[in-house]
Structure 1
């Protein structure tokens, strides 16, 4: 009997055990649950909850609608953090009386007619969901007057439809006295969603969020006046005049300490289709947390990628744990932006995100470096043993002093540890100026490629600081997403080989200088340590990874006139044959070298011509059916590979690329492309004032080599090493062969102390 009772009780399982959901809705165990449509009221409330998460989101939608209506003045009144009352009054174009009946119905809008219009949308709102969502979770009143109307019209809404102001009255809009524009009043937000209403613990927190959002739009909308206050109070929390400048707006909202240290920046790039401008604090100001006012196509959004990139840019200029204030207005061609990816439009997607972010951060970095000649910080005005008085302390804290070098910050800190000082300014004196000429190590150029460039011509248009610059031209080409499993596997292999500590060193390093161009050595500083880097090895890793990340979206280096592919291959093959003959004492062991050269040239040329469509699609590597080389891939803007290495690169594509298997083919081609892009070894610099012992066989180095050296130096310091910070995944093999720690500041101080 006891066992039977136990079995009966065990039907529902022990207490606390989660019971599995049944797929039947009756005791018979045969009829499945029926699928039924949700009630429209439930659907609308769910949608409203996704769009209006808090009072600040309702206010953001209403402000954007007001600015879209051409308003030049916005007045905002808030009660209980917006939960009890949220009212916004504008002087825009108003709403026509005939449109009031459908104003709060879902997906009614004047800004969008067909789906294709999303590709060129330039207004804040477009889906017609904001007012509809608000009307389902609050009591909504609209009072509006157009320029043509003789009076204003007031309408009340509930659940997306017109409702009477009082029971028994008509729901039709009523004529009232009013001024040009629209006033929208939202009362009792979330009154019919008690769980959401109870989730807001503090009305003051909600009001602070509203003030923050109003302040952001007040800074960006430079032609609009803003005012925001609590209901029943005479003083305003924010009051901005329409003619106030952006700097004055920041001063009134965020304080004079921010406004006094602002620098203005503006940049654009037709290749990526963007324009960026804004204001950012310099190195004299820092916060405990980054303040980023980000507007993309005039819509306030958030972007963790942009925030991280901006913070990374400032690490070289601010003290540890210091963060900037940045206002960024980014305008991108509407067809390159997808704004319809988030219910509240808080996030957007756009093409070439990484390239745009990198271009903006590099511009901000250059602006910061240009004004980073002095820092402001507080100094001690009393000698040790003195006593402080109230007047002395006030005078000291109110008088900043300027000095060159890095700032220690305005906060009180212990005595600085000299062995922990780090280099913060990449524009300081380079280590190159402290080293003697390295010409005594040898002469000549290592044979990474063929010294002759006969028949190879790139479009060189001018000089910039004695550095050759190629003429860049933007072409209309949409970026394509790579869905090839083989490429994804190659990317995963790089991530698996990632050395986290070394990657962090490169992400936060300071470039010190080039040490030896013949051995391709450069010095970087990471923290308090100095490292010697084989930049040839690092560039190889970087260009290979760049080929994987930009797969199918390469730029092109086009030649003024097509190059004969077979002639280039013949040059490389002849060079290899001569090198082999010299190594064997001038004896051709096979006895048929000429035949071998021609056979090799034809074999490699046939392989490349046969696969020209694939090479063009994936690598922007264009070859004509007749065997003419029209273009090669462009991996990075600002650096041009040595055209002397082009014949060798083409020849190596034959034996070193497995054309029969997809993954091996892509891996082999990208590795050869990376090897082609690696800066070549260059002879040491020889000066006219050097002693005769130094002026050895390299004094006859031609002007072309000198110009090439200048180009490589400039690219390493201003293009490649800065790119390593954001895009290089340092691998374990690079840790073993590509970097060497040569000095540790703390260790040197211990040595000096013993001396």
Structure 2
């Protein structure tokens, strides 16, 4: 044994008597104030998302109606929030970032009646100890804005040698807080963050929660130097609109509203919960207690147990719950980040809320949407075939609580599409075919069946960016027109024009342009979860592309854009490209291609509508040169654009004219349907137009009403042709 080992007693060996004597206790000393501040800052600002949450709450407390958030490197490099609130007085800026400075508390008893988000005055102080903090603010009565820099809770000069006092600058009303280099002096905390994208996702989650809850407040959040915003909620958005923008139309279209209150337990609750037709792999609960975003394992467990009786195994719901409790029953001061609260009668309140949600779920019938379709490759349809669905959603009649005031005559418009239509007053020979019963099955239509494929959540950055681009280009007024419209009728099938009514105005709509954008958005929303159009017998892709090439060569014969040998090579090139990417096409788009170059399935976008198979050769031909296969984002966008072009309704000529003898007999140039059906191609054309009218009125435009996000580019496809109030002004002069 060496000397070093001999000096160290082995475990279990006896010690000498003098070694067993107790040593003098160490003296207790007060920690350095800098250490105290950093410990407190570490408890409150655990991650960039916690700093942003504190800043959002301060901005809402200040009466802001607009919040703009800019993030760089997940908030570690830059975190900036700009609001239009009351601002901060110039005289208060000296102590603004000192600990326990607040305008919301005076005595400890004020905690029992606290009604604001922040109250302890620790947020800005904590941030200033672990980041470079800059605040620019302007009040309504100030002639200019003031900018100040802070470090360790004190004012600090912007550059060494300068004065630390706030500097007057030009600025708008409100406050802008800029946090740079978060955790620059706490390297161990900074190294703990795995990736900026993960932190940015947490920031988007918090911003989304407050955007849903804070109605009347506009929210926008984006990455630094990016032109597109990740979240953009207008100030007039409703709760459901905000949920649709942030969490998607899939959940927004399946929400049930609930409300419950009880004076005995001193609470009232309201919110929105998904019905039995929607489920995901992870429970999403937006819980606000006294307008404070919190977490509660008890609430989550109770809701999951409630939905277990309605959802399939592994399915979880979406719930937004706003719970107002008597402030004297709530303790908000139990967690440094205010993430948790305690309140009295927790079990009774949760039970009342679950009962209210359960009543809503049991009163509404829902059905599973079908995901696959069987379709014969031939143009002829078997007689007697009908559309099939498991069950139809039943709508619940809501009784009016108050008798509405009688509107003026110039505001009386038809808003119920089920009431008598003008076409029912016209003779059948002139009105053309109409579908009187919207629920009547389409003779010869496709049959739907279930598929075992499970729905997956798409987390691809490129798809999220494409969805954000669509939302950022939204035209609010045009979107509202489609969301509240009433379908009037088909005007011109050749120019693809229909008439719709919104409010007291009548519009002509280019449904070709509108439907192409809608099918593109539908492809983004259902990316990776498409249904399938299954052919009874696989189709030869080379033969189909060859048909498309022959048609394209006829159209471009005079232009001679390509030599003949290049045209002849197109079918083989396109087929080879599709075979090489068959795994990706099957996984993301449900477009199944065999190894021999046969087309097995096509993506199904909209139940109740089958695209014209006459456009299939051109669609397959364009997948070669018109899809950017080498770039992920460009590939997804261009493929979905081509798919939307394929799904866009085709142009059809008007009804064929009647025979001359029949026209003379009618003496009014009326169309005789029987005579038209006997002409060459007349019967097929009449059938196509009947099917198109059914699809437009009962499939496409109800779908547009539910989920279309109308962009600025769609303005050229909508023309206002009549305004009821304007017509009243004209006829009043007569």
Q: Report the TM-score, using the length of structure 1 for normalisation.
A: 0.49
Q: 1:336 maps to which residue? A: 329
Q: 2:593 maps to which residue? A: none
Q: 2:121 maps to which residue? A: 128
Counting only pairs closer than 5 Å after superposition, residues 350-361 of structure 1 correspond to structure 2 as 350-361=343-354
**1:387 offset after TM fit, Å?**
7.7
Is the Cα contact below 8 Å between 1:164 and 1:172 reproduced in 2? yes
Partner deviation per Cα, 1:517-547 (whole Å, 9 max, x = no partner): xxxxxxxxxxxxxxxxxxxxxxxxxxxxxxx
Q: 1:248 maps to which residue? A: 241
Q: In structure 2, what is the Cα distance between the partners aligned to 1:304 and 1:18?
A: 46
Q: In structure 2, what is the Cα distance between the partners aligned to 1:51 and 1:237?
A: 26
Within the candidate set 82, 104, 121, 2:75 is matched to 82
Q: 1:577 maps to which residue? A: none
**1:107 offset after TM fit, Å?**
0.4
SS in 1 for 2:81: strand
**1:381 offset after TM fit, Å?**
4.0
Q: 1:189 maps to which residue? A: 182
**1:33 offset after TM fit, Å?**
1.0
Q: In structure 1, what is the Cα distance between the partners aligned to 2:245 and 2:27?
A: 60
Structure 2 portions without partners, runs of 5+: 382-386, 395-447, 455-734
Within the candidate set 372, 397, 402, 2:391 is matched to 402
**1:400 offset after TM fit, Å?**
7.1
Is the Cα contact below 8 Å between 2:330 and 2:344 reproduced in 1? yes
Q: In structure 2, what is the Cα distance between the partners aligned to 1:252 and 1:379?
A: 24
Is the Cα contact below 8 Å between 2:261 and 2:268 reproduced in 1? yes
Q: In structure 2, what is the Cα distance between the partners aligned to 1:135 and 1:27?
A: 48
Q: 1:63 maps to which residue? A: 56
Kindly tell me: are residues 149 and 350 of structure 1, through their superposed partners in 2, closer, same or farther at Cα, counting changes over 3 Å? same
Q: 1:142 maps to which residue? A: 135
Counting only pairs closer than 5 Å after superposition, residues 40-51 of structure 1 correspond to structure 2 as 40-51=33-44
Q: Do residues 212 (structure 1) and 205 (structure 2) align?
A: yes
**1:28 offset after TM fit, Å?**
11
Q: 1:375 maps to which residue? A: 367
Structure 1 portions without partners, runs of 5+: 393-397, 415-755
Q: In structure 2, what is the Cα distance between the partners aligned to 1:361 and 1:411?
A: 33
Q: 2:278 maps to which residue? A: 285
Q: 1:258 maps to which residue? A: 251
**1:374 offset after TM fit, Å?**
3.2
Q: In structure 1, what is the Cα distance between the partners aligned to 2:281 and 2:291?
A: 27
Is the Cα contact below 8 Å between 2:372 and 2:451 reproduced in 1? no
SS in 1 for 2:261: strand
Q: In structure 1, what is the Cα distance between the partners aligned to 2:450 and 2:246?
A: 22
**1:388 offset after TM fit, Å?**
8.6
Is the Cα contact below 8 Å between 2:371 and 2:449 reproduced in 1? no
Q: Do residues 9 (structure 1) and 11 (structure 2) align?
A: no
Partner deviation per Cα, 1:454-502 (whole Å, 9 max, x = no partner): xxxxxxxxxxxxxxxxxxxxxxxxxxxxxxxxxxxxxxxxxxxxxxxxx
Q: In structure 2, what is the Cα distance between the partners aligned to 1:11 and 1:338?
A: 56
Q: In structure 2, what is the Cα distance between the partners aligned to 1:293 and 1:110?
A: 28
Q: In structure 1, what is the Cα distance between the partners aligned to 2:449 and 2:330?
A: 40
Kindly tell me: are residues 12 and 105 of structure 1, through their superposed partners in 2, closer, same or farther at Cα, counting changes over 3 Å? farther
**1:230 offset after TM fit, Å?**
0.5
Q: 1:750 maps to which residue? A: none
SS in 1 for 2:368: strand
Kindly tell me: are residues 170 and 178 of structure 1, through their superposed partners in 2, closer, same or farther at Cα, counting changes over 3 Å? same
Is the Cα contact below 8 Å between 1:376 and 1:403 reproduced in 2? no
Kindly tell me: are residues 210 and 379 of structure 1, through their superposed partners in 2, closer, same or farther at Cα, counting changes over 3 Å? closer
Q: 1:417 maps to which residue? A: none
Partner deviation per Cα, 1:690-723 (whole Å, 9 max, x = no partner): xxxxxxxxxxxxxxxxxxxxxxxxxxxxxxxxxx
Q: In structure 2, what is the Cα distance between the partners aligned to 1:388 and 1:210?
A: 49
Q: Aligned pair count?
A: 390
Within the candidate set 412, 420, 445, 2:452 is matched to 412
Kindly tell me: are residues 18 and 363 of structure 1, through their superposed partners in 2, closer, same or farther at Cα, counting changes over 3 Å? farther
Is the Cα contact below 8 Å between 1:377 and 1:402 reproduced in 2? no
Kindly tell me: are residues 333 and 412 of structure 1, through their superposed partners in 2, closer, same or farther at Cα, counting changes over 3 Å? same
Q: In structure 2, what is the Cα distance between the partners aligned to 1:155 and 1:296?
A: 34
Counting only pairs closer than 5 Å after superposition, residues 668-687 of structure 1 correspond to structure 2 as none
**1:378 offset after TM fit, Å?**
1.1
Is the Cα contact below 8 Å between 1:121 and 1:334 reproduced in 2? yes
Is the Cα contact below 8 Å between 2:273 and 2:318 reproduced in 1? yes
Q: Do residues 101 (structure 1) and 94 (structure 2) align?
A: yes
Q: In structure 2, what is the Cα distance between the partners aligned to 1:202 and 1:110?
A: 37
Q: Which runs of 4+ in 1 moved over 6 A?
A: 26-29, 386-389, 408-411
Q: Report the TM-score, using the length of structure 2 for normalisation.
A: 0.51
Kindly tell me: are residues 255 and 117 of structure 1, through their superposed partners in 2, closer, same or farther at Cα, counting changes over 3 Å? same
Q: In structure 1, what is the Cα distance between the partners aligned to 2:118 and 2:449?
A: 43
Q: Do residues 229 (structure 1) and 228 (structure 2) align?
A: no
Partner deviation per Cα, 1:650-671 (whole Å, 9 max, x = no partner): xxxxxxxxxxxxxxxxxxxxxx
Q: Do residues 114 (structure 1) and 154 (structure 2) align?
A: no
Is the Cα contact below 8 Å between 1:319 and 1:409 reproduced in 2? no
**1:10 offset after TM fit, Å?**
4.0
Q: Do residues 268 (structure 1) and 278 (structure 2) align?
A: no
SS in 2 for 1:86: strand
Q: In structure 1, what is the Cα distance between the partners aligned to 2:72 and 2:316?
A: 33
SS in 2 for 1:209: helix
Is the Cα contact below 8 Å between 1:155 and 1:173 reproduced in 2? yes
**1:313 offset after TM fit, Å?**
1.0
Is the Cα contact below 8 Å between 2:257 and 2:272 reproduced in 1? yes
Q: In structure 2, what is the Cα distance between the partners aligned to 1:409 and 1:66?
A: 51
Kindly tell me: are residues 9 and 387 of structure 1, through their superposed partners in 2, closer, same or farther at Cα, counting changes over 3 Å? farther
Kindly tell me: are residues 409 and 300 of structure 1, through their superposed partners in 2, closer, same or farther at Cα, counting changes over 3 Å? farther
Q: In structure 2, what is the Cα distance between the partners aligned to 1:61 and 1:251?
A: 25
Kindly tell me: are residues 259 and 18 of structure 1, through their superposed partners in 2, closer, same or farther at Cα, counting changes over 3 Å? farther
Q: In structure 2, what is the Cα distance between the partners aligned to 1:18 and 1:340?
A: 48
Q: 2:300 maps to which residue? A: 307
Is the Cα contact below 8 Å between 2:57 and 2:117 reproduced in 1? yes
SS in 2 for 1:376: coil
**1:67 offset after TM fit, Å?**
0.1
Counting only pairs closer than 5 Å after superposition, residues 203-602 of structure 1 correspond to structure 2 as 203-371=196-364, 373-378=365-370, 381-382=373-374, 402-403=391-392, 412=452
Q: Do residues 165 (structure 1) and 158 (structure 2) align?
A: yes
Kindly tell me: are residues 314 and 85 of structure 1, through their superposed partners in 2, closer, same or farther at Cα, counting changes over 3 Å? same
**1:205 offset after TM fit, Å?**
0.3
SS in 2 for 1:101: coil
